[in-house]
């Protein structure tokens, strides 16, 4: 959205200071009690096969208690500089599009994870910190547990805060086909899939 005026320098400084607080440092993320993925390689491989991510692509996925994929959505982020509040809004919009919220539950049952494909090294960046903040806040607002944050670079994939990763898939690799025995989950998004999900939940 474009506005018809330029912000003052004071407003710019205030906005910049606010943005700086909307990110999580690795130590804060590690202390947040994020649940560990039982099989991160399988989760990463499945999302890579479904969404074929390229750099600047974010994939948000919702897993059930057995770590089966219930819904996922991918979108391209061109936000510069990184802003956790904007990332939160983008993630929340995607979650609302692909799966009903769980706000009526006392304790979240489903878990949202985020895989972000980007350029650069695998080590933590301020952009990662903004995505972590956005994921945590979006999960709170949608009634989900906040799950793993995974980066995908040319060096491979890495679950930040856990020290687990692998060389394949990576940002340059071709997606592997679904295993013959694996049945992809219902297509994420759309009215038909919402009706199917509600019927299955009854």
Omega before residue 47 within 30° of 0, cis: no
In which band, very low, low, confident or very high, does the pLDDT at 80 lie, cut at 50, 70 and 90?
Answer: confident
Residue 150's nearest CA partner among 53, 78, 31, 19 is 53
Residue 198 clears pLDDT 50, i.e. is over it: no
Three-state SS string over 60-97 comes to EEEECCCCCEEEEEEEECCCCCCCHHHHHHHHHHHHHH
DSSP state of 188: S
User: Looking at the whole model, is its pTM more than 0.85?
Assistant: no
Nearest CA to 164 among 173, 172, 156, 153? Answer: 156
pLDDT at 191 over 60: no
Mean pLDDT (whole number) for 55-69: 96
DSSP 125: -
> Which has the closest alpha carbon to 90: 69, 76, 110, 100?
76
Give dist(CA 64, CA 55) in Å, integer.
Answer: 27
| The pLDDT value given to residue 145 | 96
Helices (H) and strands (E) in the chain, counts: 6, 6
CB 19 within 8 A of CB 83: yes
The CA–CA distances, whole Å, from 118 to 13, 15, 59, 127, 154 equal: 27, 25, 12, 10, 8
Q: What average pLDDT does range 112-125 have in this prediction?
A: 94
Q: How many CB atoms lie within 10 A of CB 194?
A: 15
Q: Where are the chain's structural domains?
A: 36-166
The answer to whether the CB of 128 falls within 8 A of the CB of 115 is no
Closest CA to 60 of 143, 117, 122, 2: 117
21-25, 126-130, 144-148, 190-194: range with lowest mean pLDDT = 190-194
The mean-pLDDT minimum among 4-8, 51-55, 164-168 falls in: 4-8
Class for domain 36-166, per CATH? Answer: alpha beta
- Mean pLDDT over all residues of the chain? 82
């Amino acid at each position: 959205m474009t506005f018809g005026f330029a912000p003052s320098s004071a407003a710019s400084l205030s906005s910049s200071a606010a943005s700086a607080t909307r990110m999580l440092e690795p130590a804060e993320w590690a202390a947040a009690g994020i649940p560990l993925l039982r099989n991160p390689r399988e989760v990463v491989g499945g999302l890579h096969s479904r969404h074929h991510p390229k750099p600047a692509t974010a994939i948000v996925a919702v897993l059930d208690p057995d770590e089966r994929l219930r819904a996922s959505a991918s979108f391209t982020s061109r936000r510069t500089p990184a802003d956790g509040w904007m990332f939160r809004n983008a993630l929340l919009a995607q979650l609302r599009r692909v799966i009903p919220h769980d706000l009526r539950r006392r304790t979240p049952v489903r878990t949202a994870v985020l895989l972000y494909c980007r350029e650069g090294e695998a080590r933590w960046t301020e952009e990662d910190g903004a995505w972590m903040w956005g994921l945590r806040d979006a999960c709170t607002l949608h009634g989900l547990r906040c799950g793993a944050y995974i980066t995908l670079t040319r060096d491979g994939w890495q679950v930040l805060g856990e020290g687990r990763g692998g060389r394949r898939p990576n940002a340059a690799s071709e997606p592997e086909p679904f295993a013959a025995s694996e049945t992809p989950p219902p297509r994420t998004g759309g009215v038909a899939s919402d009706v199917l999900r509600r019927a299955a939940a009854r």
